Amino acid sequence: MRFLVRSLTGLFLAALALALLAVGGVTMKSALDARAKAPGRLHASQERVFAANVVTLDFGTRRPVLTAYGDLRTLRELEIRAPAAGTLLALSPNFVEGGAVEAGELLVQLDPAEARAARDSARASKAEADSALALAGRTLDLAGGDLAAAQRQAELRKAALERARSIGARGFGATADIETAELALSSAEQAVLTKRSALSSAEAGLDQAKNALRRAEIALSEAERKLAETEIRADFAGQLSGVSTVAGRPVSNNEILATLIDPVTLEVAFRLSTAQYVRLTDPEGRLMPLPAEVSLDLGERRITVPARLARAGAAVSEGQAGRLVFARLEAVRGLKAGDFVTVALEMPALEAVALLPAAAVGADGKVLMLDAEERLRAVPVQVVHRQGDDVLIRAAELASGQEVVAERTPLLGEGLKLRPLRRDASGAPVAPAKAADVVLDEARRARLIAAVERNTRMGAEAKARLLAQLHQEAVPAEVVARIEARMGG
């Protein structure tokens, strides 16, 4: 009996399940039939529309800006060294790290005692040389007078010999007188030769005295130079760096005491690629003096000064590439040698180029252009220059006024429908233009109202809002287009 009750219960439950399944199937079939017959249903799936920022092309002449980074250097820098070993007697009050000095200012005073003694000794030697030269001059004068007297005496002896010979020829003189006159003439001529030798010696003595005087003058000049070097003065106005000495300390020869830097004549050295450097040269290969701006970022503040290209490095350093270029600063406001700065260089103007964000150009070298139907079309472009996050492009298939996608993403591709998001010059979003309102005739209005009322999936609040808009004299075109799209007509 218990088995029979359980069997009947199982059959009852199975029959109940089958009945519920049948009711569910009939209900689903009815719903599908009603949905198929509903006039306001859209049978085909709607096309997906993507949204993206677009920019308007503006082709024209632009001066590209090249950004580089470099460090400041001074054009004049002088190492202050000790010219000789000695003791630092005194230092200038400005002889400190960062001290500002004027041209010709006394910076360091070495102990001048030895140099002063050497100068005095050289002065004494020069005085002796002057005396020796004066004595040699007087000796030369005396030797010249002796020679002249000997020559006159020789002439007299010669005249006497001629008279003796003339008298002897007439038969009045004696042979002994002639011989005596000849001997006297020979003695006079010998005296002339002796005086000439003395004159030559006097002239040599004068030359030696002059040479000795010149050596004494050179020694005195060297001594005075060494004495002057005990005072180290600034060759030009500037600031001191690397000061590491105090008064009273002995220094060695050629020891570095400090470095004098001219803070006004600064230049920036930065490196460019070879292709970038070539664009900065004229047809003859010379670097053009193009303007630039050198800036130092201080966080909340930025120092910017004008500069101009001056020259390029003569050779490429080992392990380096490109070209080392120097720009001369035309003003110095708060900048120091050694600062790491940014250089914005204005390059020669480019014709028929447009400025775009770098993200607008894909890896394939194409941009996505928005056509008249608001669909995307891939167009090849030529990137002629990159500056920061922007690029300058040329394109034969593009013109001013056309719009391209500002930032390409993997979701965007050729042929897709796009809802463009535009921005004004300040970067603020521009709201899309609203479609004009439509004045409906009664038949079209009744058809739209019926379509809204038949829609069972629309909320009561949304349906009431749409019906209120449809009962107005002018209905927004967007509302009409949306309802008619759902109606399929």
- Token pair of 96 as six digits: 């400190």
Rounded mean pLDDT, 327-348: 88
Rounded mean pLDDT, 95-101: 87
Tens digit of each residue's pLDDT (9 = 90 or more) over 424-436:
665 566 555 555 5
C-alpha distance from residue 333 to each of 70, 146, 324 (Å): 17, 81, 24
C-alpha distance from residue 6 to each of 9, 10, 12, 315, 356 (Å): 5, 6, 10, 106, 82
Tens digit of each residue's pLDDT (9 = 90 or more) over 14-57:
877 887 788 777 787 777 766 655 544 444 446 778 888 888 88
Rounded mean pLDDT, 155-176: 72
Torsion of CA 332, 337, 338, 341, to 10 degrees: 20
Please name the residue that has the structure tokens 């120091």: 336
170-174, 224-228, 383-387: segment of lowest average pLDDT: 170-174
Q: What percent of the chain has pLDDT over 70?
A: 91
pLDDT score at 426: 57
Q: In 3D, which of 367, 465, 377 has the Cα closest to residue 416?
A: 377
User: Are the C-beta atoms of 136 and 224 separated by less than 8 Å?
Assistant: no
- Token pair of 359 as six digits: 């993200």
- Compute the residue count for the chain: 489
Structural domains in the chain, sorted by start: 51-63+350-430 (2.40.420.20), 66-74+265-346 (2.40.30.170), 77-111+230-260 (2.40.50.100), 114-228 (1.10.287.620), 437-487 (no CATH)
Per-residue pLDDT band at 342 (split at 50, 70, 90): very high
pLDDT score at 428: 62
pLDDT score at 322: 86
pLDDT score at 40: 44
pLDDT exceeds 70 at position 398: yes
pLDDT exceeds 70 at position 233: yes
User: Which residues, other chains included, contact 169 with Cβ-Cβ below 8 Å and sequence gap of 6+?
Assistant: none
Distance CA 489, CA 484 (A): 6
pLDDT score at 185: 76
DSSP-based three-state secondary structure for 220: helix
pLDDT score at 448: 82
1-5, 358-362, 409-413, 430-434: segment of lowest average pLDDT: 430-434
User: Which residues, other chains included, contact 256 with Cβ-Cβ below 8 Å and sequence gap of 6+?
Assistant: 79, 80, 81, 242
User: Which residues, other chains included, contact 323 with Cβ-Cβ below 8 Å and sequence gap of 6+?
Assistant: 271, 272, 273, 274, 277, 312, 313, 316
pLDDT score at 435: 52
Q: What percent of the chain has pLDDT over 90?
A: 9
- Token pair of 28 as six digits: 């689903």
Rounded mean pLDDT, 189-200: 82
31-35, 311-315, 368-372: segment of lowest average pLDDT: 31-35
Kind of pairing, strands 49-56 and 417-423? parallel
Predicted TM-score (pTM) of the model is 0.57
CA-only gyration radius of the chain, Å: 56
2-16, 374-388, 429-443: segment of lowest average pLDDT: 429-443
User: Are the C-beta atoms of 66 and 344 separated by less than 8 Å?
Assistant: yes
Q: What is the mean pLDDT of the chain?
A: 82
pLDDT score at 308: 92
pLDDT score at 39: 45
pLDDT score at 14: 80
Tens digit of each residue's pLDDT (9 = 90 or more) over 56-78:
888 988 888 888 899 999 888 88
137-141, 165-169, 233-237, 267-271: segment of lowest average pLDDT: 165-169
